[in-house]
Amino acid sequence: MKGIRRGQFLMSSQTAQSALLLLKQLKELNKDPHSGFSAGLVDDSNPFEWQLILTGPPDTLYDGGLFKARMTFPHEFPFMPPTMRFSSEMWHPNIYPDGRVCISILHPPGDDPNHYESAMERWNPVHTVESILISVISMLASPNDESAANLDAAKQWREDPEAFKKKVKQTVRKAQEEI
């Protein structure tokens, strides 16, 4: 198999192209310090694992929070989506209790086997890391309780908004202390 030697392993040409694209997107992403997020590699020898810090969107319950997350990219990127997981505690209907983010654009391309979303809503290779992060920030501002990943958070968001706000404020405070 033809490829490029990087570190201790041989990369296929697809993997090498993915790595180059990711490094380019990382460089572009960090050009604007006022974007609401910052990114870096977890390990300089692995462009497929990123650490992120997202700022809670202004004028939302998450305002003031600095939330840590990781994004892991498949070697088939941009043809397959990355996964994203908050390492900071999060209380949100569209974030699983273990921190995994559940939004349509991070779901593999094609038809949804559960018929909840159209193929147009799912991953498309034109998405960039920046478009993903903008979608996640938008999701923080506007939860979708019809497609909940955290059923308890969704139920509380619908049925007891004041308790939901209080729990999110605690989450924001904890995230501020972690940084």
Q: Computed over its alpha carbons, how large is the radius of gyration of the chain?
A: 17
pLDDT band at 178 (very low <50, low <70, confident <90, very high): confident
Average pLDDT of the chain, as a whole number:
88
In which band, very low, low, confident or very high, does the pLDDT at 13 lie, cut at 50, 70 and 90? confident
pLDDT at 5: 47
Nearest to 132 by CA among 178, 90, 73, 62: 73
Task: Give me 41's structure tokens.
Answer: 């590699």
Tokens of 162: 């004041």
Higher pLDDT, 7 or 107: 107
Fold of domain 3-178: Ubiquitin Conjugating Enzyme (3.10.110)
- Cβ-Cβ contacts under 8 Å for 146 (sequence gap 6 or more): none
Residue 38, strand partner residues: 53
Give the tokens for residue 136: 């996640």
Percentage of residues in the chain having pLDDT higher than 90 = 69
| Residue 116 or residue 63, greater confidence | 63
So what's the pLDDT on residue 30? Answer: 86
Residue 131: per-residue pLDDT: 92
Task: List the structure tokens of 168.
Answer: 């999110």
Pick from 63, 58, 47: which is nearest to 129 by CA? 47
Q: What is the mean pLDDT of residues 26-51?
A: 90
Report the alpha-carbon distance of residue 123 to residue 131 in Å, rounded. Answer: 11
11 has a pLDDT exceeding 70: no
H-run or E-run covering 165 = helix 161-178
Q: Which of 22, 84, 102, 140 is catalytic?
A: 102
- Give catalytic status of residue 124 as yes or no: no
**DSSP, residue by residue, 70-133:** EEE--TTTTSS--EEEESS----TTB-TTSBB--GGGSPSS--TTSSS-GGGS--TT--HHHHH
CA 143 – CA 66 distance, rounded (Å): 18
pLDDT, one tens digit per residue, over 80-128 is 999 999 999 999 999 999 999 999 889 888 767 766 777 778 888 989 9
Contacts of 13 (CB under 8 A, 6+ apart): 2, 3, 4
